Structure 1
Amino acid sequence: MKAVHFGAGNIGRGFIGLLLHEAGYEVVFADVNADLIDAIQSADSYDVHEVGEGGRTKTVTGFRAINSAVDEEALVSDIATADIVTTAVGPNVLRFVAPVIARGLLARSAGCAPLAVMACENAISATDTLAAEIRSAAGERATEVENGAVFANTAVDRIVPGQDPAAGIDVTVETFCEWVIEAEPFAGAAPVIPGATFVDALGPYIERKLFTVNTGHATAAYAGFAAGHTRIAEAFADPAVRDLVERVLRQTSALLVAKHELDPTKQDAYREKILVRFANDALPDTVVRVGRQPLRKLSRDERFIGPAAQLAERGMLTDDLVEAVGVAIGFDVPEDPESVEMQQLLRDLTPEEFVERVTGLSADHPLSPALVEIVSTR
């Protein structure tokens, strides 16, 4: 069995690639980072170090790597004979990997089993986005692509911090991981991946994760940055930072319980588990790494505006989430292009214009007045 995974970075190697390896797949990593691909190609194995309670080291073998920028034909050939294609490249990069996946699908032999395509990104319905880009790239042959693949959305959860440059291709991760995949597209013939969970309704899992893990993690990063902290665990040890994170996640939990009819007790337990994960001092994660790309994180369907807008539409409290947005717009890191752009927008636009441009909310949305007010104070 063979899986092609786009994105040979830390998440690709330390999470999805690891689970695919443990499921018995030969993993072919595809990436445009030439130095990284060279390092993977020259190695027979790499280690994934799980840190925290119950942590252990796992060794990955049986992999290959392809530089997709210079060896697209080899990548097309591997996709044409693969069982699974996965991605961990970031939602904004999906449109760039779609054309080669389309080519690989069109090169598959007649009668072979459909290719399982799953985007493993921190975004809602990322596989749907990837599928649309693949169909577009296939043009008049879009129907062939549709018939030759099964597109399944996923929810993924594992904290993979920035790594020590001296670690080579080894990866340090937290012990917790969750890969949830919608089962319906496979019509009873889902691939065997023991480390993944197949569910009938993925929506609650996606929003539970995005609006708890990602919202909380980003809140800790922005509040920690504002307080002068460097590491996430250090920031989370600050009572003021932790207080804001806890208040924000109580509001997102209220939405999740109301919208998806989750058991409040189970959601409380899930939230508390997430807070313990943020406090893991063995993870060398930084507030700058977690906070990068603030414009994406403040967009309409993302971790702050997504839940806050839905709460406002239901007439529920949003004040703590709005406070977190106010902290987020103070993220000023010259090395992060989106941070630089955001600060320029704050200087160039009125608060009303900034809110509409960045969050995608119209002036008549019930959340907009509170956002305009918080932007006005910065």
Structure 2
Amino acid sequence: MKAVHFGAGNIGRGFVGLLLHQAGYEVVFADVNAELIDALAAADSYRVRLVGEGGEQVETVTGFRAVNSSVDEEALVAEIATADVVTTAVGPRILRFVAPVIARGLAARPDDAARLAVMACENAIGASDLLAAELMDGLPDDETRDTLAARAVFANTAVDRIVPAQAADAGIDVTVESFYEWVVDRSPFAGDAPDIPGAHFVDSLGPYIERKLFTVNTGHATVAYFGFLEGATTISDAIAIPSVRAAAEAALAETSAALAAKHGLDEAALAEYRETILGRFANRYLVDEVARVGREPIRKLGRNDRFIGPASDYAAFLGSAPAALLAAVGAALRFDLPEDMQSVELQRLLDEAEPELIVAEVMGVERGEILHDPLVEVVRSAQSAPSV
């Protein structure tokens, strides 16, 4: 069995690539980073350190190859043409760049080949649907779309594993937390899902995606932004500050309330899940920097992302504005990190734009929505707050 994985970075090697290797797949890593690809191509193995409160475990990954997708597209097309699985961990905005080569690989597959399982493993809702749309939009006609659609199965996923910034001398070895979840929508496979023991196939993925995004990602960012305001350097240091932990607990209590109201998820199970997630953030064996987790605040303040997404659901299903999530938005607005381009742009907007414009353009919330006026006040308060 063979899997082609786009994105040979820390998540690709330490999460998806590791689980595919453990499932018995030969993994072909594709990336545009020539130095990384050369290092992988020259190596027979790499190590994944799994760290947690129980100590450290080391897994060794072998039987992989690497292709530079920016200079050797023909080789990558040939790999996709004979693969069983294609996965990605490149970021949602990069999917449109990998779609054309996947389309070429599908076109090169024999007519009698099994359908290619395509799973975008991104921190986004419906990432595989987005990849499929990008792929189909780039095709010349309906006949070609129909032909290639019959050769692939696109299945959405929810993925969760904290992969911190790595030591400068780590090379291609990678350190990750021991906890992980890879949940895959079973329904597109019509009973013929790929055999990946580390993945959990479910009939209805939507609740799992939102539970993860609006608990793990919301909580992680909340701890980062409040921790930043308190001067913390790492996530474990930040969540050890009582006020930061209280802010995260309150925000996640609201996201759980929205999830329970929207999807009918069990409130006791959600409470247990919240405690598990907060415990993961306190893992001192996993050195994860506040600056890394907080970067790209404009994206994280988007309508469907980790703050406004659950806040919108809370307003829609519970009829009021969630105070703790709005407080987290206020903390995110004050994330002032000169080396992060989105942080710099956000601070410029706060200096120059009216609050209503920021709420509409950055957060996607329009006048008349329950969240609009409270968010305007949050932005106005951030604009008048002293610099950190």
* TM-score tier after normalising by the smaller chain length: over 0.9
Unaligned runs of 5+ in 1: none
AA matched with 2:287: P
Match of 2:20 in 1: 20
Contact 1:251/1:317 (<8 A) preserved = no
5 Å-filtered alignment, 1:126-205, equals 126-140=127-141, 141-205=144-208
Quote how far apart the aligned CAs of 1:259 are. Answer: 1.0
SS of 2:27's equivalent in the other structure is strand
Cα distance in structure 2, aligned partners of 1:229 and 1:268:
26
Letter in 1 for 2:3: A
Shift of 1:202: 0.3
Q: How does 1:180-259 map to 2 (within 5 A)?
A: 180-259=183-262
The answer for the alignment partner of 2:105 in structure 1 is: 104
Q: Report the AA paired with residue 115 of structure 1.
A: L
Q: Distance in 2 between matches of 1:143 and 1:294?
A: 39
Cα drift, residue 19 of structure 1: 0.2
Aligned residue number for residue 7 of structure 1: 7
Q: Distance in 2 between matches of 1:295 and 1:56?
A: 36
1:345 positional shift: 1.4
Percent identical pairs in the alignment equals 63
- CA deviations 1:28-73 (Å, max 9, x no partner) are 0111111111111111100100011344110000001111111111
- Cα deviation, residue 337, structure 1: 1.1
Specify the SS of the correspondent of 1:255: helix
Is 1:124 equivalent to 2:128 in the alignment? no
Aligned to 1:46: 46
Greater displacement, 65-74 / 48-57 = 48-57
- Asked if the contact 2:126/2:157 (under 8 Å) is kept, the reply is yes
Q: Which residue of 1 aligns with 2:386?
A: none
- TM-score, scaled to structure 1: 0.99
For residues 352 and 218 of structure 2, the distance between their equivalents in structure 1, rounded to whole angstroms, comes to: 27
Preserved contact between residue 321 and residue 371 of structure 2 (Cα < 8 Å): no
Q: Which runs of 4+ in 1 moved over 2 A?
A: none
Amino acid at match of 2:75: A
Counterpart position of 1:89: 90
Q: Deviations over 1:272-299 (max 9, x none)?
A: 1001000000111101111111111110
CA distance in 1, matches of 2:65, 2:139: 27
What is the CA distance between 1:237 and its match in structure 2? 0.6
Output the TM-score relative to the length of structure 2: 0.96
Of 111-120 and 332-341, more deviation after overlay is shown by 332-341
Residues 59-118 of structure 1: per-residue CA shift (max 9 Å, x gap): 000001111111111111101110000000011111111111111111111110000000
The question of whether the paired residues in 1 share the 8 Å contact of 2:12 and 2:89 is answered with: yes
Paired residues of 1:155 and 1:180 also in contact (CA < 8 A): yes
1:25-36 alignment, distance < 5 Å: 25-36=25-36
Instruction: Check whether the contact 2:223–2:239 (CA below 8 A) recurs between aligned residues.
Output: yes
Report whether the alignment pairs 1:303 with 2:306. Answer: yes
**For the Cα contact (< 8 Å) 1:138–1:145, is it kept in 2?**
no
| 1:320 to 2:324 alignment | yes
Greater mean alpha carbon deviation, residues 46-55 or residues 77-86:
46-55
Report deviation, 1:258.
1.0
User: What is the letter of the counterpart of residue 2 of structure 1?
Assistant: K
Q: How does 1:329-344 map to 2 (within 5 A)?
A: 329-344=333-348
